[in-house]
Amino acid sequence: MVSSSHEALHRIFQQDPGLFARAARHLGVAFPPPVSTVELSTDLTETQPLERRVDTLLQMNTEDGSFLLAVESQGRPAPDKSASWAYYLSYVYAKYRIPPVLLVVCADRGTAEWAARQVDIGPRQWCSLSLRPLVLGPDDVPVIDSPDDAARDIPLTVLSAALHRRDPGADAILNALAKALKGLSADDENTATTFIELTEQGLGATQAAELWRHLMAVDLSFFQSQTAQQLRAEGRAKDLLLLLGHRGVEVSEEDRERIVGCGDPDVLGLWFSKALTATSTAEVFASDGESGADAG
């Protein structure tokens, strides 16, 4: 199954294709920024019953001409991937007649080192094809921990957070990103929501993801989008359970499901206030928006 963090590492380039040229500078490669882009089908399947799909495929049109950008999110070394990547590049070049570039994005340093190796295909006497991916790993994207820097390039900061999610600097990146998102105008709510979602996906099941949910519940409370509401509700549900546990109030599995399943931040806030003095979950759930009958 494809993980959410896998999706975020290539979807960020769909959200902002110009991010590729900015990120590639950290690899010492200068690509011109696109003047337009075309999102192409990721299905590379032929008529045979073998299905092959690249994660993201974009046609990047620049002042210097066009090229295809194939983005692969790679979680761990895979011996067969080099052959698949060579196939992807050969196929899209044959199909579109546009020069392709392969970008591999890895949140793991060992995987990034593995992916960056040049692979020569052919007998030792003659190399018929060389595979040279561009690789973005934790050591290739800077730690963006300044709110001003984050505001100047939010997509790059999202990528920085995803790639440094297990590093000590992850908390500083997320704090800077939260402040940058908070500085967006109300008209940019949809854009902010997209980056909030991509960040959470990119963090995966890490401690940094817990911090991000907390930041979203507190710092971005002014956003009213469905995603922001969900993030606030998740944060408040967790805080409520922690408070009840700290106070020694017994929480049944049914009570826990009720708290976690409540998607209304206002109701959860009311329950939290009651939990400060309540001695049972029945007192927490009673009246004030939750009827006594429903509390049972």
SS (HEC) of 26-66:
HHCCCCCCCCEEEECCCECCCCCCCCCECCEEEEEEECCEE
Burial class of residue 276, CB neighbours in 10 A (0-12, 13-18, 19+): exposed
Q: Could you give the CA distance from residue 161 to residue 73 in angstroms, rounded to a whole number?
A: 15
Q: Could you give the CA distance from residue 16 to residue 175 in angstroms, rounded to a whole number?
A: 21
DSSP assignment of 85-119, as one string?
Answer: HHHHHHHHHHHH-S-EEEEEE-SSHHHHHHHTS-E
Q: Could you give the CA distance from residue 158 to residue 250 in angstroms, rounded to a whole number?
A: 39
Identity of the residue numbered 43: D
- Collect contacts of 24-31 with beta carbons under 8 A, ≥24 apart: 24/103, 24/134, 26/136, 26/140, 26/141, 26/142, 27/134, 27/135, 27/136, 27/140, 29/134, 31/60, 31/62, 31/67, 31/101
pLDDT by position in tens, the chain (length 296): 456 788 889 989 999 999 999 999 999 989 999 999 999 888 877 655 556 788 999 999 999 999 999 999 999 999 889 999 999 999 999 999 999 999 999 999 999 999 999 999 988 778 889 999 999 999 999 999 999 999 999 999 999 999 999 999 999 999 999 999 888 765 677 788 889 889 988 998 899 988 888 888 766 655 555 556 666 677 778 889 988 988 899 999 999 999 988 878 788 888 988 898 889 999 999 865 443 334 33
Q: Could you give the CA distance from residue 104 to residue 115 in angstroms, rounded to a whole number?
A: 7
**pTM of the predicted structure, to 2 decimals:** 0.68
Phi, then psi, of 105 in degrees rounded to 5? -110, 125
The DSSP 8-state label assigned to residue 121 in this structure reads E
Q: How far is CA 269 from CA 89, 217, 218, 226, 239, in A?
A: 52, 11, 12, 17, 10
The whole-number pLDDT of residue 228 equals: 60
SS3 content of the chain, % helix, strand, coil (to 5): 50, 10, 35
In angstroms, how far is CA 214 from the centroid of its own chain? 16
- pLDDT tens digits for 29-50? 899 999 999 998 888 776 555 5
